[in-house]
Structure 1
Amino acid sequence: MTGRTDAVRTPRGALVGVDPANPLAGLVVFQYNPDEMTRRLVARTPEGDEGAGGARSEALRLTGAPIETISLAVEVDATDQLADADPEAVLLGIHPQLAALEMLLYPKSSVVLENMALTAVGTIELVPTEAPLTLLVWGAGRVLPVRLTSFSITEQAYDTQLNPIRARADLELRVLSYSDLSVTSPGHHLFLAHQIAKETMATLSARSAAGRAVTGGIGGVFR
């Protein structure tokens, strides 16, 4: 999935499903970088500290990194590939790109078949399948472990074989922090590095604001 042709070439965002057994199956490079992204952060606090009845000693306590959700829309369009007679686009339209997104929500069929076989021989307890670790790559400075929680696909055009050739996918992502992942997960350490980078940037911002306050008075901070 890729970006509009801009005067300055920018890197493309991507979702990467880290699956050593099939590394390409979970790679979704955005064809067009979204024009906007909505991020929502909710403080992670002890139970009962919100509203009446919460213990005063817990009012400022944090139990972990905030719960962050990200909403964005990506576009997929096979027009250029069809104009170039790309064999895959001619045969399948954008089915492969949409399938790569959808596979981030599916358990592996091999695991489903294995569980079916275990059920057939009387195994009572089956371990739920784990999705591969998924990373949102949005420039070198933002590589986040995420879980794709839901998305909707709006197919907007079709070829003569009814293959979709243009679509928009609205994605809902939940960022996974060290509060969600085991210390043995690479995502645990990726998020910790992300937080440390944020702390560094926040310090730079505070120094800049302090400098403006000294040189221009308090009003200078808000200019």
Structure 2
Amino acid sequence: MNTFHNSPKFLKGGIVLIDPESGVVRRIIALQYNPDTLSRTLQVKGIGEGGDRSQALRLKGPPVETLKLDAEIDATDQLEIADGTATEVGLHPQLAALEILVYPTSSRLQSNNSLAAVGTLEIAPMESPLTLFIWSKNRILPVRITDFSVTEEAFDPALNPIRAKVSLGMRVVSVDDLGFSHRGGDLFMTYLRNKEQLASRSKGGALSALGITGI
């Protein structure tokens, strides 16, 4: 049997949750299969139409970047080797690991309910871990999950899902959202600087290619 030692190693995209204060990694979620497409939209933060002419070319801050992807999850391989978890509950653990990204913890909900019951007038909104979407070393993005939907496509005899597609919508959180001193803001600045370095490696064009000799 031939072994190709020089075959490239395919990386996985995924999501990492970290403590925003200490930077300790709380959970790593690697996608089982990389999605075929990753859609990105950048909404420019300009001054707007009809404003002061002196401001027409100014940017107010980083654009609002949103991402969308569809991730497939399949328990077929685990079922073939009689994996205990897959046999018992199918894909429930993998789906739950993704779904709790958009849930506050049950303990925090219970704590807030107890505070409200004793008459606490102001209860601080629940802060979640810092969520990072990682798509290679060139894209480590602090994000907030904005859309989440699951389509369960096949089930075992006990009605546990064994094949599913998860659609994720994410919004990149920048220094405008977090500030420069926040760990997420620092990661955003690293992402932006890396983007600038990549842009500097793009070869510039020539005016002749555009059919003109000067401007």
Same fold (TM over 0.5): yes
- Which of 197, 204, 208 aligns to 1:209? It is 204
Quote the residue 2:122 is aligned against.
Answer: 125
Give the SS at the match of 1:111.
helix
TM-score by length of 2: 0.87
Distance 1:8 1:157 in 2: 32
Does the 8 Å CA contact 1:181/1:188 hold for their aligned counterparts? yes
Quote the residue 1:12 is aligned against.
Answer: 12
Does the 8 Å CA contact 1:42/1:66 hold for their aligned counterparts? yes
Give the 5 Å matches for 1:28-43: 28-43=29-44
Distance 1:155 1:9 in 2: 30
Offset of 1:180 from its aligned partner?
Answer: 1.1
Give the 5 Å matches for 1:138-153: 138-153=135-150
Give the 5 Å matches for 1:23-62: 23=25, 26-46=27-47, 49-50=48-49, 53-62=50-59
Offset of 1:23 from its aligned partner?
Answer: 5.0
Offset of 1:73 from its aligned partner?
Answer: 0.5
What letter matches 2:189 in structure 1? L
Distance 1:45 1:125 in 2: 36
- Which of 213, 216, 219 aligns to 2:209? It is 219
Q: Gaps (5+ residues) in structure 2?
A: 1-6
Does the 8 Å CA contact 1:27/1:100 hold for their aligned counterparts? no
Q: Gaps (5+ residues) in structure 1?
A: 1-6
Quote the residue 1:194 is aligned against.
Answer: 191
Distance 2:128 2:190 in 1: 23
Distance 2:107 2:25 in 1: 16
- Same amino acid, percent of matched pairs: 47
Aligned length: 203
Distance 1:55 1:99 in 2: 50
Distance 1:141 1:190 in 2: 12
Post-superposition Cα deviations, 1:111-138, rounded to whole Å, max 9, x if no partner, equal 1111111011111111110121100011
Quote the residue 2:166 is aligned against.
Answer: 169
TM-score by length of 1: 0.84
Post-superposition Cα deviations, 1:182-220, rounded to whole Å, max 9, x if no partner, equal 333211111101111111121221xx225xx4xxx8239
- Which of 106, 109, 112 aligns to 2:109? It is 112
Distance 1:197 1:178 in 2: 15
1:83 aligns with 2:80: yes
What letter matches 2:183 in structure 1? P
Q: Stretches of 4+ moved more than 6 A in 1?
A: none
Give the SS at the match of 2:175.
coil
